Amino acid sequence: MSKAKSRGFLTHTRENAAERPFTERIADWQLIHLDLPEERLQNQAMRCMDCGIPFCHEGRILNRMATGCPINNLIPEWNDLVYRGLWQQAYERLHKTNNFPEFTGLVCPAPCEAGCTLGISDPPVTIKNIEHTIIEKAFAEGWVKPTQPEKRTGKKIAIIGSGPAGLACADQLNLVGHHVTVFERADRVGGLLMYGIPNMKLDKAIVQRRVNLMAESGIEFKTNCEIGTDIPAEELHDAFDAIVICTGATRPRDLPVPGRDLEGIHYAMDFLTPNTRSLLDSNLEDGNYLSAEGKDVIIIGGGDTGTDCVATALRHGCKSLTQFEIMPKPPLSRAPDNPWPQWPKVYKLDYGQEEALAVYGDDPRAYAVMTKEIIGDEDGQITAVRTVQVAWRSNGAGPKMEEVLGSEKVWPAQMILLAMGFLGPENPLLDQLHVDRDARSNVWAEYDQFHTNVEGVFAAGDARRGQSLVVWAINEGRGAAREVDRWLMGETSLP
């Protein structure tokens, strides 16, 4: 390692890639991200300390949160290659562990950066920005090509669901020569990558670019095909040597409060999915989506899905916007019980909140707020939400929530979006396949094995582990592919 590289973290501060101005980007649906010039990005790669034990490289769960890279990206290696200008070699290192760095480089919350050793005392390395630039340069230079296997095994695998777990599983199984068919009930391939994440966060042309490449590699995609409805699950079981369930965790958590049956209350995905479909079909001209234009919008729930609802409602031209968080506002810096390398539970503005701040002058989130009642008019339309502040106290067995007396408040609302997470996969398909469920209603399949109780049926991604990150879904898809290959062939060369 050069002397300059070894001291890069002392000579260069963290520099994030820029984003488009708020007033410009909320007027369209294009990507918000810009790229750093290569020379400045190489300076960022120079900040990597080439640690003896790189915590960024290995994904783990600490205090119920992810830290480090779940797919074990060779981060110090490709950081050094980027610093030295060896971009193609950096891409080859990146592709060894990550099938889709163009997705993770845009939408992953970067638990690798939480585990960066430099983060003990300074801002961590901009790993996510570097990853994104590597893969986009690889596409631009023509280094990313279809990967046709040298020979086919004659084994046929059905993958149900085309989200990140399903696509990763398909990509890996195709590499070793199996015939792979991916079934998707929607009209486009990609699962949550296509319809669960708005276009300004992940341009759908990027998703389609990868899908096209996989199709050229020999993977077959069948859209508008719901297993269990259009094709009975038993028929699929008879026609294929193995099945992998990658349907995701799509059952939304509901809000059981008075007034829930009023008009104007929608699950977040019923808001986000039609919006993206209409955008792709007609640039929103067909009107086949739920519009927030001119409405007081209440979003109940935080997290990425809530943020995506914020950004989408802003682009519709909503009248006002408030996002309820039931948890208290996080501290500005790490609390004593949240040390490195845990994920930092600190206050931050995500892209949607930044945009709302620019439009309305304040963070749209209201913390420690619990919804008590939804109020409507004589026509059954919502008009307001009644809430109460809550306080979180410790009773020795964990935090306990208590309502704060006299803290009730009524908020005007003509649209309410429920973004409170998901409760597991939908049941009809699982019932038909006769697979066991765990205590959280997810498909039961032991991690690192991925085989369900039904011979030849595997599960991966959110359907197995519950709602999680795109990068964990890729990890699971790759792991399931390895175990399917081992089960079919008696051995495997897949990582």
CB-based burial of residue 199 (10 Å sphere; 0-12 exposed, 13-18 middle, 19+ buried)? buried
**Cα torsion at 136, 28, 413, 406 (round to 10°)?**
50
- 334-351 pLDDT, tens digit per residue, is 999 999 999 999 999 999
pLDDT surpassing 50 at residue 4: no
**CATH class of the structural domain 156-250+423-489:** alpha beta
Please tell me if the domain spanning 156-250+423-489 has the same topology as the one spanning 265-418: yes
Residue 143 token pair? 């280094």
- 95-142 pLDDT, tens digit per residue, is 999 999 999 999 999 999 999 999 999 999 999 999 999 999 999 999
The pTM (predicted TM-score) of the whole model is: 0.95
pLDDT surpassing 80 at residue 60: yes
CB 241 within 8 A of CB 456: yes
Write down the CATH superfamily of domain 265-418: FAD/NAD(P)-binding domain (3.50.50.60)
Pick from 473, 459, 465, 474: nearest CA to 100: 474
Query: Which pLDDT band holds residue 65 (cuts at 50, 70, 90)?
Result: confident
Q: Which positions ≥6 away from 2 have C-beta within 8 Å?
A: none
Considering the domain 3-141 in this protein, what is its CATH number?
1.10.1060.10
Domains of the chain by residue range: 3-141, 156-250+423-489, 265-418
What angle, rounded to 10 degrees, do the helices at 127-141 and 87-97 form?
110
Q: Is 166 left (phi over 0), alpha (psi -120 to 50) or beta?
A: alpha
**pLDDT score of 263:** 98
Query: Which pLDDT band holds residue 6 (cuts at 50, 70, 90)?
Result: low
- Rounded average pLDDT over 346-365: 96
pLDDT surpassing 70 at residue 2: no
Compute φ and ψ for 75, nearest 5 degrees.
-60, -50
- 158-189 pLDDT, tens digit per residue, is 999 999 999 999 999 999 999 999 999 999 99
The overall average pLDDT reported for the chain is 95
**pLDDT score of 50:** 80
pLDDT surpassing 60 at residue 1: no
pLDDT surpassing 90 at residue 302: no
- 369-424 pLDDT, tens digit per residue, is 999 999 999 999 999 999 999 999 887 777 889 999 999 999 999 999 999 999 99
Tell me the C-alpha distance between 295 and 318, whole Å: 5
Residue 17 token pair? 């890639």
- Rounded average pLDDT over 302-316: 96
Percent of the chain scored above 90 by pLDDT? 90
Give me the sign of the Cα torsion angle 61, 67, 70, 76: negative
Give me the sign of the Cα torsion angle 267, 272, 275, 276: negative
**pLDDT score of 5:** 62
Tell me the C-alpha distance between 195 and 198, whole Å: 7
- Rounded average pLDDT over 41-55: 91
